[in-house]
Amino acid sequence: MKFENVAEVGQKIRAYDFQPIEGREDQYIEGVVVEKGWIIHPETGHKLFKGFTISIDADSSEGRFRVGDSGYVPFETTHDFDGRVQKIIVLK
């Protein structure tokens, strides 16, 4: 799948909601990958899609309402674009 090999558990990623374009604020979440593989519906147990589960520590939205939550980033979508998921290099 297109972005499956971008990062491994323990690495940080940024995932864009929409393709960045000039004149529009980028919309994304960032966080550390805590799991890779099937995303399971929390109530029914059905497999939804394959992707990253991240612990969100940055959110571009004004309310920053997703920080502290878990986020689910598909490895591939029907509206993919290059750079939709990027590994963030953390300097220590």
pLDDT digits (tens, 9 = 90+) for 34-92: 999 999 998 999 999 999 999 999 998 876 778 889 999 999 999 899 999 999 997 87
Please check whether residue 36 is in contact with residue 1, taking contact to mean a CB–CB distance below 8 angstroms. no
Domain limits, the chain: 12-88
Confidence at residue 63, expressed as pLDDT on a 0 to 100 scale: 67
Confidence at residue 72, expressed as pLDDT on a 0 to 100 scale: 94
| DSSP string of 34-76, one letter each residue | EEEEEEE-TTT--EEEEEEEEEEEEE-STT-TTTTSEEEEES-
- Span 4-49, pLDDT tens digits: 999 999 999 999 988 878 877 788 999 999 999 999 998 999 999 9
Which tokens hold the place of 54? 């991240």
